[in-house]
């Protein structure tokens, strides 16, 4: 079923062989509630705990492809959710730091990683808007929730040459990639419309 899912993603335009192999390797059904398990290899988002969703496989593959991950890259993920995207990044041999603001999901997914032997460098409970200044700079940063605006902290925590992939917008989001060209310059690319649960900011 995972091979078939990879074929669907190829038909939709995913070309990176390493990303496709990661999709072929990660058992998505284990990241989902048992009531949806039977649908795990459809190319669709599904509900997880705390009113959140596990992203659609195409979206996961698309964002991951844009990150251009090399083994050993230091990657920050905002929105751990089910941990599926995290597991894909780990398959690509990234060193992953991942932040989740829903306590229930943070606890559940952190435990699940341990049980499954997935080893992100750090799973953090907190507000991803602020990034992770103590670990920055990152080779890439991926945001897996819809951001009404691009958090400045995330831009500043990229290495020169690094990439930020973030869906930007309220109702609907435009997948946006920033490549840091120098301390001060960023190249911006807009790559189509998607729908995510919102990136929420903790105001205190
Ligand atoms: N990568 C996840 C996507 C989950 S949906 C997966 O494939 O399962 C997006 C997640 O972002 C949700 O779990 C939501 O709680 C989280 N989120 C929203 N705002 C956030 C913030 N400011 N900081 C960290 N996580 C946030």
Residue 5, pLDDT > 80, answer yes
What spacing in Å lies between the alpha carbon of 9 and ligand 1's midpoint? Answer: 23
Decide yes or no: CATH 3.40.50.150 for domain 2-194. Answer: yes
> How far, in Å, CA of 11 to CA of 6, rounded?
9
Query: In the prediction, which pLDDT does 150 show?
Result: 97
What spacing in Å lies between the alpha carbon of 52 and ligand 1's midpoint? Answer: 7
What mean pLDDT, rounded, does the chain reach? Answer: 96
To the nearest whole percent, how much of the chain has pLDDT over 90?
A: 96
> How far, in Å, CA of 167 to CA of 144, rounded?
7
* Per-residue model confidence as pLDDT tens digits over 190-200: 999 999 999 99
Domain ranges of the chain: 2-194
* Per-residue model confidence as pLDDT tens digits over 95-104: 999 999 999 9
Nearest ligand 1 atom to the CA of 81 is: 13
Strands, sheet with 74-78, edge to edge from the N-terminal-most edge strand = 122-125, 95-100, 74-78, 138-143, 158-168, 173-180, 186-194
Active-site residue set: 55
């Amino acid at each position: 079923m995972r091979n078939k899912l990879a074929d669907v993603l190829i038909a939709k335009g995913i070309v990176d062989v390493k990303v496709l192999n990661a999709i072929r390797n990660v058992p998505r059904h284990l990241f989902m509630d048992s009531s949806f398990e039977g649908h795990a290899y459809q190319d669709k988002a599904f509900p997880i705990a705390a009113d959140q969703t596990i992203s659609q496989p195409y979206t996961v593959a698309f964002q991951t492809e844009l990150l251009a991950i090399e083994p050993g890259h230091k990657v920050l993920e905002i929105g751990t959710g089910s941990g599926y995207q995290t597991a894909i990044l780990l398959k690509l041999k990234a060193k992953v730091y991942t932040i989740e603001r829903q306590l229930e999901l943070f606890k559940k997914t952190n435990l699940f990683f341990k049980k499954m032997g997935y080893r992100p460098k750090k799973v953090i409970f907190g507000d991803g808007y602020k990034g992770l200044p103590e670990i920055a700079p990152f080779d890439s940063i991926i945001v897996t929730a819809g951001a009404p605006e691009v958090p400045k902290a995330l831009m500043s925590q990229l290495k020169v040459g690094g990439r930020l992939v973030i869906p930007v917008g309220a109702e609907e989001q435009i997948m946006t990639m920033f490549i840091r060209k120098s301390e001060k310059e960023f190249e911006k690319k807009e790559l189509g419309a998607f729908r995510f649960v919102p990136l929420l900011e903790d105001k205190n």
